[in-house]
Amino acid sequence: MIVTVTLNASIDKAYYLDSPVVDGTVHRVSVVDNSAGGKGLNASRAITTLNYPVCATGFVGGNNGRYLVELAHKDGITSDFIYTEQETRSCINILEPNKQSTEFLEPGQPILPEEFLAFKAKLVQLTKDAEVVTFNGSIPKGISAENYKELIQETMAAGVPCIVDASGTLLTSCIDALPTMIKPNTDEIGQLLKREITTQDEIIEAAQELHKRGIKIIVVSLGAQGALMVSDEGTFIANPPKIEVINPVGAGDTLVGSFAVALAQRKPTSECLTFALSCATASCLSIGTGRFDQAVAAEIHKQVTIKKIAG
């Protein structure tokens, strides 16, 4: 079983428009897609799509929280959340005909100290049956970056591999916990090492530096150009085929979820990367956030190229 941690879950609303956004005017939404949101829930959908057991955990509250659990259940996701006194947030993604995506993300409501302690206890129990634990996304008020780091440290100490997909101070703080894998983009890996990183050689050097610190797998997402990975197997770059993107939101989360599945299946990291990249690319062809067609992913997998460039 894979456990996904989403501390700042949301109801995600994707609004599809038939015409471009014009400031100060009324817009009729042609299609609305509601989903249990937050990066960990998107990753959970990918894991469920791959028919692998998953348990999504974190915090939910109020009517939105109950609706989120209902939406997750409809997607086949098993969940075990801590219920809070505050209402779960909503996030809106507006998709225009030109494929432009604009997001409005509400902040998470405060978590009480006793609620966080209850979550820590729950995670300890869930970890006992976990093959991989993913820590995904942002945190609400009431939880600190140090708290986030503690959760990773405790999970790693239990001998369970951890994948971290976070940004900013969260990602910076968790590095000392030495999670099994991190998935920064080019900007985030530059922030981690406090220097500007733009070229492929600079990305390689940065990822290799983090690997030497003790992080076993560093996957740097490169958008449409694929991903670069440094692991014990060496340094690789993988490229997907060109596609006509329908909805890019959640593709990185799909990559994390499918990588976790491959990792749980003990595949070599190079195979984990090509498998995950094919699923993430397939998710860009689906209207639903974090969803994809396995048959499409299998066809894309045949077209993904991977090259070992060092090590």
Q: How far, in Å, CA of 143 to CA of 169, rounded? A: 13
pLDDT band at residue 286 under the 50/70/90 scheme: confident
Among the ranges given (78-82, 241-245, 251-255, 270-274), the one the predictor scored with the smallest mean pLDDT: 241-245
Contact 165, 135 (CB under 8 A): yes
The residue extents of the domains of the chain are 2-20+31-309
Q: How far, in Å, CA of 241 to CA of 169, rounded? A: 33
**pLDDT at 311 > cutoff 70:** no
What pLDDT, on the 0 to 100 scale, is given for residue 310? 79
Strand bridging mode 29-37 / 10-17: antiparallel
Q: State mean pLDDT over 217-238.
A: 95
Q: State mean pLDDT over 128-139.
A: 97
Contact 126, 57 (CB under 8 A): yes
Residue 215: helix, strand or coil by DSSP?
coil
Q: How far, in Å, CA of 38 to CA of 12, rounded? A: 8
Q: How far, in Å, CA of 195 to CA of 113, rounded? A: 36
What pLDDT, on the 0 to 100 scale, is given for residue 16? 87
CA-based radius of gyration for the chain: 19
Using alpha carbons, list the distances in angstroms from residue 248 to 20, 144, 281, 292. 18, 29, 9, 11
Q: State mean pLDDT over 160-173.
A: 95
Angle, CA 240 vertex, CA 249 and CA 208 arms, to 5°: 90
- As a CATH number, domain 2-20+31-309 is 3.40.1190.20
Record the tokens describing residue 68, joined without a space: 């989120």
What pLDDT, on the 0 to 100 scale, is given for residue 93? 87
Record the tokens describing residue 286, joined without a space: 């689906």
Record the tokens describing residue 147, joined without a space: 């708290």
What pLDDT, on the 0 to 100 scale, is given for residue 26? 94
Residue 69: helix, strand or coil by DSSP?
helix
Residue 17: helix, strand or coil by DSSP?
strand
Q: How far, in Å, CA of 111 to CA of 227, rounded? A: 35
Exposed, middle or buried by CB within 10 Å (0-12, 13-18, 19+), for 159? exposed
Residues in Cβ contact with 15 at an 8 Å cutoff, skipping those fewer than 6 apart:
29, 31, 32, 92, 93, 94, 95
Q: How far, in Å, CA of 180 to CA of 161, rounded? A: 6
The string of pLDDT tens digits covering residues 49-78 is: 999 999 999 999 999 999 999 999 999 999
Q: Please spell the DSSP secondary structure of 260-275, one letter per residue.
A: HHHHHTT--HHHHHHH
**pLDDT at 184 > cutoff 70:** yes
Q: State mean pLDDT over 275-291.
A: 90
Q: How far, in Å, CA of 28 to CA of 41, rounded? A: 28
> For the chain, where are the alpha helices, taking DSSP H only?
39-49, 62-74, 113-127, 145-157, 168-174, 186-193, 200-213, 251-264, 269-283, 294-303
**pLDDT at 165 > cutoff 80:** yes
| pTM listed for this prediction | 0.93
